[in-house]
A and B are shown apart, each in its own frame.
Chain A
Amino acid sequence: MTPLSGYLFVSALLFCIGLAGALTRRNAIMVLIGIELMLNAANLNFIAFWRFSENPETMTGLTFALFSIAIAAAEAAVGLALIITIYRHFRTANVDKVEDMKG
């Protein structure tokens, strides 16, 4: 069985890949994908800590991960709807081009 640190390393790597993507990519959808990756990394941490905890019967990590998945779905729906509206308005999904506050 892999020790906890293995899962934590994978999770940290995923988080940082997501962070790098969200910071560097120009397209708004890519930024959203980066945020999704970071959320998933956190989920992996919840599950790993649940599995390696002293008393896993309480299922705190599992329920937290389930809630987090639901939140991520809601976030993706609203985020992508916003991106589509922004695209309709500015004719671009590039986050650098969307800088004026005028309606």
Chain B
Amino acid sequence: MTLPFAIIAGLTVGSAIAAMSLRNLVHCALSLVLTFAGLAGLYLQLNAEFVGFTQILVYVGAVAILIVFAILLTRSTEPKDEPATVTPWIGIAVAVGAFLTMALAVLASPVGKRVAAPAPEVSVKTLGQKLMTDYVLPLEVMALLLTAAMLGAVIIAMKDKEGQR
């Protein structure tokens, strides 16, 4: 384990815990941004530059902004007297159980001890060529999905014409 990895991993996990446990929702969203940035750092450590910067562009630049807008539009920042969580212990127990299972699986498998090969030569050009040849069907489906999602989001969030309520 190297020092940069330890720092980035600690930051990512710590901010993820903060993102899930803070009471103020805007603070949660801002911690989430830190998690996204930390994940991008991990991708850079894994020599996946393109995906790392795409992660920042999409998550920090778009998804985080969406979340923040939704928080403000639903007035979720206003203090409430009700607790922020429901029956926390069952949920946490399920999560801890899931983590223990996964950790045991990782420790038991020989894959975990694999050491990385020298950094692979990946150029954005070959990635693009792959996307336009081998993966062209998923790419087209993705384009369709994004269009459908955009139309759907606009129609769902559009105000009703009659102005009820």
The distance in angstroms between the C-alpha atoms of A32 and B102, with both chains bound, is 23
Q: Is the interface of B mostly helix, strand, loop or mixed?
A: helix
- With CB as the reference atom, state the residue of chain B lying closest to A8: B106
Question: Are B58 and A63 closer than 8 Å at their CB atoms?
Answer: no
B12 lies within 8 A of A14 (CB): yes
How far, in angstroms, from A96 to B85 measured CA to CA in the complex?
A: 10
Taking a contact as CB atoms under 8 Å apart, the answer to whether A72 and B63 are in contact is yes
- Choose from A63, A74, A80 the contact partner of B127 (Cβ within 8 Å): A63
Q: Determine if B32 and A85 form an interchain contact, defined as CB atoms under 8 angstroms apart.
A: no
Q: Are A14 and B120 in touch, CB under 8 angstroms?
A: no
* 11 CB < 8 A contacts A-B: A2-B2, A5-B113, A12-B106, A14-B13, A15-B99, A33-B19, A37-B16, A37-B35, A69-B58, A70-B142, A81-B154
Least Cβ–Cβ distance between A59 and chain B, in angstroms: 6
**How far does the Cβ of A30 sit from chain B's closest Cβ, in whole Å?**
7
Which of A66, A83, A93 is most buried by chain B, counting CB atoms within 10 A of its CB? A66
Give Cα A67–Cα B55 distance, bound, in whole angstroms.
Answer: 11
Question: In the complex, A69→B56 CA distance in Å?
Answer: 10
Contact residue among B21, B74, B131 (Cβ-Cβ distance under 8 Å from A29): B74
Pair B63/A76 contact, Cβ less than 8 Å: yes
B91 x A56 contact (CB < 8 A): no
Assess the B111–A24 pair: CB atoms within 8 A: no
A-B contact count (CB 8 A): 242
The smallest C-beta distance from A41 to any residue of chain B, in angstroms, reads 9
Interface size class of A (residues with CB under 8 A): 35 or more
**A contact residues around B58 at 8 Å (CB):** 69-70, 72-73
Question: Per-residue 0/1 for A3-30: is the Cβ within 8 Å of any B Cβ (1 yes, 0 no)?
Answer: 1111111101111111111011111011
For the complex of A and B, 3 pairs with smallest distance between CB atoms:
A23-B91, A21-B20, A5-B112
Residue of A nearest to B10 (CB): A10
For the complex formed, measure the closest distance between the CB of A48 and the CB atoms of chain B, giving whole angstroms: 6
CB-CB under 8 A from B13, the residues of chain A are 10, 13-14, 17
* A44 proximity list for chain B (CB < 8 A): 39, 42-43
What chain A residues lie within 8 Å of B90 (beta carbons)? 23
State in angstroms the CA–CA spacing of A18 and B99 once bound together. 11
Q: How far is the CB of A72 from chain B (nearest CB, A)?
A: 7
Give the CA-CA distance A19 to B101 in the complex, in Å. 14
Given A37-B19, A51-B47, check contact A77 B84 (CB 8 Å): no
Chain B residue nearest in CB terms to A49: B111
Please name 17 further chain A to chain B contacts, defined as beta carbons within 8 Å, in addition to the given A2-B1, A6-B1, A21-B20, sorted by A numbering: A2-B2, A2-B5, A3-B115, A10-B9, A21-B19, A27-B84, A37-B35, A47-B43, A51-B46, A51-B120, A63-B130, A63-B131, A65-B48, A72-B63, A77-B153, A81-B153, A82-B156
